[in-house]
């Protein structure tokens, strides 16, 4: 399945998904409420079999906070990029995909720790690198009072 066919297949799952052919991969933009369902379908459907979560990247788009998922099918050899955003900076929430891919556990904890993105139904959502006295240093509005200026 080439990128165009992959995009058409994903669009057939839900007409509301925004599909874009990127330079390398098919990119799918999905609302947070449909993220887990899409991820589950992409993992289970014979046409896609995305069995490998390559990465989850948290992004501060200002004013939105978002996530970018890179998925790979080791059987079919194709990849897809899933993007999702929320405008709720006070309580940014997405459904955890750690029940679909175990690798999501640490990726989601990292996004939580550095951006404050919360993952509903995550089995162990706690900070990974920083203690609770820190804010969320990858947010563009983050201010570090201890920065030394010369």
* Mean pLDDT value of segment 85-104: 97
Looking at residues 23-43, what average pLDDT do you find?
Answer: 96
Look at residue 110 and tell me if it is in a domain. yes
Supply the range of the domain harboring residue 11.
3-120
Query: 118 Cβ partners below 8 Å, 6+ apart?
Result: 91, 92, 93, 94, 112, 125
Token pair for 15: 């007409």
Evaluate whether residue 139 is within a structural domain. Answer: no
In this structure, what token pair is assigned to residue 30? 């999905």
pLDDT-based confidence at residue 45 (cuts at 50, 70, 90): very high
pLDDT at 23: 83
The alpha carbon dihedral of 35, 38, 44, 50 has a sign of negative
Q: What is the pLDDT of residue 149?
A: 63
Question: How many domains does one find in the chain?
Answer: 1
CATH code, 70: 3.30.460.80
Is residue 51 within 8 Å of residue 2, measured between CB atoms? no
Residue 69 placed within a domain: yes
* Residues 144, 22: Cα–Cα separation, whole Å: 36
pLDDT in tens, 106-148: 999 999 999 999 999 999 999 999 998 889 999 999 987 776 6
Residue 11 structure tokens: 């669009």
Cβ proximity of 116 and 91 under 8 Å: no
Structure confidence at residue 85 (pLDDT): 97
User: What is the percent of the chain where pLDDT is above 90?
Assistant: 87
Confidence of residue 69 (pLDDT cuts 50, 70, 90): very high
Answer yes or no: is 140 within a domain. no
pTM of the model: 0.93
In a domain, 134, yes or no: no
Answer yes or no: is 141 within a domain.
Answer: no
């Amino acid at each position: 399945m080439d990128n165009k066919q992959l995009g058409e297949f994903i669009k057939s799952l839900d007409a509301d998904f925004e599909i874009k052919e990127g330079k390398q991969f098919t990119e799918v933009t999905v609302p947070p409420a449909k993220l887990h369902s899409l991820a589950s379908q992409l993992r289970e459907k014979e046409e896609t079999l995305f069995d490998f979560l390559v990465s989850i990247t948290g992004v501060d788009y200002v004013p939105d906070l978002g996530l970018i998922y890179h998925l790979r099918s080791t059987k079919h050899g194709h990849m897809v990029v899933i993007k999702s955003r929320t405008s709720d900076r006070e309580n940014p929430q997405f459904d955890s995909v750690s029940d679909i891919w175990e690798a999501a556990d640490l990726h989601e904890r990292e996004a939580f720790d550095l951006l404050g993105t919360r993952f509903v139904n995550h089995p162990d959502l706690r900070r990974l690198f920083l203690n609770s006295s820190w804010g969320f240093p990858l947010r563009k509005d983050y201010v570090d009072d201890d920065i030394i200026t010369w």
